[in-house]
Amino acid sequence: MFYYFLIFDFGRTELEGTKHTSHLFMKATAKAHPNIALVKYWGKRDQKLNLPAVGSISVTLNELHTISSVHFREGLQNDILILNGEEAKPDQTQRVSRFLDLIRPRAALSAKAEVRSKNNFPTGAGLASSASAFASLALAGSQAAGLQIPTSALSELARLGSGSAARSIFGGFVEMKVGERADGSDAVAVPLADENHWDLKILIAITSEEEKEIGSTTGMNHTARTSPYYGQWVFSSQADLENMRRAIFLRNFTELGQITELSCLKMHAVAMSANPGLIYWNSTTVEAIHTIRKLRNREIPVYFTIDAGPQIKALCPAPYSEEVHDALQKIPGVLRIIKTSLGPAATLTEEMV
């Protein structure tokens, strides 16, 4: 099913008008999938509200997920975060507490929460773990608090935790609107096409399991402050968005791939032009870029994208995925490869964390 040029009339922020029930639930668990941006988001127009400086278009990933459980209960002095089975670092817990503080007043709720969150993929390593984390937290947290939130407002809430999390509320191809309103109520994600629209595969070549030294938010803020090319990056994104919508609608893989690589390289170029420059790649990342281009020279339709990290993602039509997999697997330094199709929207679940 295709949702082309879907338009929302948001009016005032929907979060302000969110309805809530009595606190019957108090606990809920949600599952969300990370996404990778084909047209990249890099930079904010408002730090506090996490408003993007540019729009973006992404695909949600089926095989990767975060499951988060939020349990509001009396007697807790502070929020607790258990991440991947271990007590989280203080800064991670504080970030989750700040996010829950957005939910509590809307539900007239004062109780602290025990949050358990688990990824089935490396955390903080350039695989958009914050996107799936805060999308799942937005859904689980609001449900646990008894709030009834429409999906557009849920996307707005998730954005306040992580900019890319707004996109992980939806499945398939998703566009994040840059918005114009000062309160951020129109800076939300909207679905363009669901996960069944196009049979594509994404192969993620893991080149490092370690957390990156410079997080995305820190990196994009530094880039905006110090890169002489940042203004041109913002200006050029609009054409990429328009062209990508067309490529998705027409299922034009060549156009989709070319725009994807262009946006990726522009994002990393502007990050490298910061002072000091930001380099998220390692030597294996570069070798994988050359491998993918060599495959294209052999008329194998495959293109790459890279987020703020060393992992490289190859996109191709499903029939070519094994050949692409084999070529990437031969690269020294590729630790493993995750192959995935397009994934669904965030959903409530009874799976254990």
Q: What is the mean pLDDT of residues 86-107?
A: 95
Q: Express each pLDDT in 27-66 by its tens digit.
A: 999 999 999 999 999 999 998 899 999 999 999 999 999 9
111 Cβ contact partners less than 8 Å away, ≥ 6 residues apart: 26, 72, 73, 74, 76, 104
What was the pLDDT predicted at 38?
Answer: 98
Q: What is the mean pLDDT of residues 94-107?
A: 96
Beta strands in 194-267 (DSSP E): 200-206
Judge whether residue 2 has pLDDT over 80.
Answer: no
The DSSP annotation for 110-177 comes to: ---EEEEEEESS-TTSSS-HHHHHHHHHHHHHHHHTTEE--HHHHHHHHHHH-GGGGGGGS-SEEEE-
Judge whether residue 18 has pLDDT over 70.
Answer: no
Q: Express each pLDDT in 129-180 by its tens digit.
A: 899 999 999 999 999 999 989 999 999 999 999 999 999 999 999 999 999 9
Task: Residue 39: name the closest of 307, 218, 344 by CA.
Answer: 307
Q: Express each pLDDT in 319-333 by its tens digit.
A: 999 999 999 999 999
What was the pLDDT predicted at 128?
Answer: 64
What was the pLDDT predicted at 126?
Answer: 54
Q: Express each pLDDT in 180-231 by its tens digit.
A: 999 999 999 999 999 999 999 999 999 998 888 898 889 999 999 999 999 9
235 Cβ contact partners less than 8 Å away, ≥ 6 residues apart: none
Mean pLDDT, rounded, of the chain: 91
User: Collapsing DSSP states into helix, strand and coil, what is residue 57?
Assistant: strand
